[in-house]
Structure 1
Amino acid sequence: MIKTILGYEIEDGVSPEEYERWLFDVHAPDLLANPHLDRLVFNKVLRPVRQASGGTASVPEGYTFYRIAEMHYADEEAYAAYLRWFEEHPLPPERGPAGRTRFKFYLVTESTEVSRG
C-alpha cells in the first residue's frame, strides 16, 4: 500500500467550524470522486508528545499541526493514476485547499502495518 501523509494547520482567518464543514462537505467528496484513491483518514491532533530528558525526540517546541491526514492507494501505479485523474479533472479553485489549509509537509510513503493478529 502507498499513502500520502500530510501535516497541516488551518490558515489564519478560517475558523475550525468553517474548516470542518469545508473538509467533510466539499473537499473529502471531491477527493473521493477520484477512483484511484481508496481511503482517507483524518487524524485531528490533540497535543504533541513531550518526553522528559533522556526520552525519545518529539515535535519541536512551537511546531503544531491541526491534522495529520492519510490518503491510501493500492500501489504506486494507483497513485500515479490518481495524479493523472486530477490533471484531467482539476478541482475548481474555490473548492480546493488554497486559502484554507497551510501544509507543513506532504509525503509519499510505503506502509508496513504490524498488529497483534
Structure 2
Amino acid sequence: MTVKAILGYEVAEGLTPEEYERWLFEVHAPDLLANPHLDRIVFNKVLRPVRQASGGTAEIPEGYSFYRIAEMHFADEDAYAQYREWFSDHPIPAERGPAGRTDFKFYVLTDSTEVTRESLAAGGAAR
C-alpha cells in the first residue's frame, strides 16, 4: 500500500517564484526529508490549467489554478502518523516553515492505486 499526502498550493503573495523555489529546494525539502517516515516527495509544477476532462465529460470552471501539486509518499497510514508524531518532537522552526510562503488550497491523505498498460494486460491494477 502506498499512502500519499497530496497538496495543491499557490506561492504566497509577496514572494517571487524564484524566491519560493530557492526556499523550497534549499530549505523546506531538506527539512521534510529529515523525517525518516517520509519516503519521498514529488513536486508537480503546474504548466497550465485544463478546462475540460477527456471526451468533454466535465467542464472545469475558471478560477482553479495551482502553482504546484505536491505528493509526499509514505509506506502506509501508520508511517504517515509517525511522520506527524516525529514533527511534534522535531518541529520545523517557524522561520524555515511554509507559513507566509505557501498558500495551501488543499491537503488530503490518499490511498494510491497505479494502473498501467501492463497491469491491465495482467488482469488488474497494481497496488
TM-score range for the pair, normalised by the shorter chain length: over 0.9
Q: Which residue of 2 aligns with 1:27?
A: 28
Question: Is the contact made by 1:4 and 1:108 (CA closer than 8 Å) also made in structure 2?
Answer: yes
- Identify the structure with bigger relative contact order (alpha carbons < 8 Å, sequence gap 6+): 1
Q: Which residue of 2 aligns with 1:82?
A: 83
Q: Which residue of 2 aligns with 1:112?
A: 113
How far apart are 1:102 and its partner, in Å? 0.3
4+ residue runs over 3 A deviation: none
How far apart are 1:57 and its partner, in Å? 2.4
* Greater C-alpha radius of gyration: 2
Q: Structure 1 CA distance, aligned partners of 2:8 and 2:59?
A: 15
**Unpaired runs of at least 5, structure 2:** 119-127
Q: How big is each residue's C-alpha offset from its partner over 1:78-99, in whole Å with a ceiling of 9 and x where there is no partner?
A: 0000000000000000000000
Q: Higher helix share goes to which structure?
A: 2
Q: Any residues of structure 2 matched to 1:5-44 within 5 Å, and which? A: 5-44=6-45
Identity %: 76
Q: Structure 1 CA distance, aligned partners of 2:59 and 2:34?
A: 36
| TM, length-normalised to structure 1 | 0.94
| TM, length-normalised to structure 2 | 0.87
CA RMSD of aligned residues (A): 1.4
Number of equivalent positions:
116
Q: How big is each residue's C-alpha offset from its partner over 1:60-83, in whole Å with a ceiling of 9 and x where there is no partner?
A: 212210000000000011000000
Q: How big is each residue's C-alpha offset from its partner over 1:28-49, in whole Å with a ceiling of 9 and x where there is no partner?
A: 0000000000010000001111
Q: Which residue of 1 aligns with 2:121?
A: none
Q: Structure 1 CA distance, aligned partners of 2:89 and 2:59?
A: 40
Q: Any residues of structure 2 matched to 1:41-56 within 5 Å, and which? A: 41-51=42-52, 55-56=56-57
